[in-house]
C-alpha cells in the first residue's frame, strides 16, 4: 500500500474494497452534507452497497477506466478524490471529489486533486481533465478555479439529483496548461 502525505496530518491512499466498512462509516457521518450535490451519499447506504461501489472502482482500475482514493485525516477517512471516468486512448478523464464536514476548509481536496491530476498527465499521458459539478455547488467550483481549470460551459438540466433537475458546469484543464501552471506554482 502507498500513502502520500497531504500535510496537516492528512494522507491520500487508494480506497479499496477492504475499506468498505470504514467507507460506510464515513458516508454515515457525512451523508447529508455530501449528498447535497452528489449521488454518492444515496448510493452507499449499507455494507453491501459500500463494498459494491468500491468493487466497481477496483474493476475500473483493472481496466484503466477510473480510480478512487481516500483522504485520511489523523487516521480517519474524511473524503476522497477520484477519476469517475478515464479514457486513456482519447487522453481524457473526469475528476471528482467529496468531503465530510469535519474536514472542510483545510485545502485537502485541492491538494489531493493536484496529486491525481499530476499522475494522470505525467504518468498516464492524459491530455484533458474535466471537473463536472452542480452549478449550485460553489465549493466545488472554487476547487476547479484553484486548480486552474477553465469553465467550458453549462449543461442545462443535464442531471437529476434527489428528484430535481440540475444544471452541470463543465470545467477543464489541458495538459500544457497544467504543466505551465505547475511550473509557476510555489513549492509546498
Q: Which of 34, 31, 30 is nearest to 137 (CA)?
A: 34
Chain segment 136-151, per-residue pLDDT in tens: 999 999 999 999 999 9
Q: What is the mean pLDDT of the chain?
A: 95
pLDDT of amino acid 186: 67
Q: Which of 158, 188, 176, 6 is nearest to 97 (CA)?
A: 6
- pLDDT band of residue 46 (cuts 50, 70, 90) is very high
Distance between first and last Cα of the chain = 24
CATH architecture, domain 4-131: 3-Layer(aba) Sandwich (3.40)
Q: Mean pLDDT throughout 72-79?
A: 97
Chain segment 157-176, per-residue pLDDT in tens: 999 989 999 999 999 999 99
Please work out, in degrees rounded to the nearest 5, the angle formed at the alpha carbon of residue 148 by the alpha carbons of 144 and 154: 50
Please state the pTM of the whole predicted model.
Answer: 0.93
**Residue 171 host element (H or E):** strand 164-174
Q: Do residues 33 and 23 touch, judged by C-beta distance below 8 A?
A: no
- pLDDT band of residue 1 (cuts 50, 70, 90) is low
* Cell numbers describing residue 123: 504518468
Distance CA 30, CA 67 (A): 21
Amino acid at each position: 500500500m502507498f500513502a502520500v502525505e497531504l500535510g496537516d496530518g492528512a494522507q491520500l491512499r487508494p480506497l479499496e474494497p477492504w475499506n468498505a466498512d470504514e467507507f460506510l462509516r464515513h458516508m454515515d457521518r457525512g451523508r447529508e452534507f455530501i449528498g447535497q450535490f452528489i449521488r454518492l451519499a444515496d448510493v452507499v447506504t449499507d455494507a453491501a452497497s459500500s463494498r459494491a461501489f468500491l468493487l466497481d472502482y477496483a474493476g475500473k482500475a483493472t481496466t484503466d477506466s477510473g480510480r478512487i482514493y481516500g483522504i485520511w485525516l489523523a487516521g480517519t477517512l474524511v473524503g476522497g478524490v477520484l477519476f469517475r471516468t478515464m479514457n486513456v486512448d482519447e487522453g481524457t478523464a473526469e475528476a471528482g471529489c467529496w468531503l465530510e464536514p469535519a474536514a472542510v476548509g483545510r485545502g485537502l481536496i485541492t491538494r489531493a486533486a493536484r496529486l491525481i491530476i499530476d499522475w494522470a498527465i505525467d504518468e498516464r499521458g492524459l491530455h484533458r481533465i474535466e471537473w463536472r459539478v452542480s452549478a449550485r455547488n460553489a465549493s466545488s467550483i472554487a476547487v476547479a478555479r484553484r486548480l486552474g481549470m477553465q469553465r467550458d460551459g453549462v449543461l442545462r438540466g443535464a442531471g437529476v439529483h434527489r428528484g430535481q433537475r440540475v444544471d452541470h458546469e463543465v470545467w477543464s484543464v489541458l495538459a500544457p496548461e497544467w504543466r505551465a501552471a505547475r511550473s509557476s506554482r510555489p513549492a509546498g
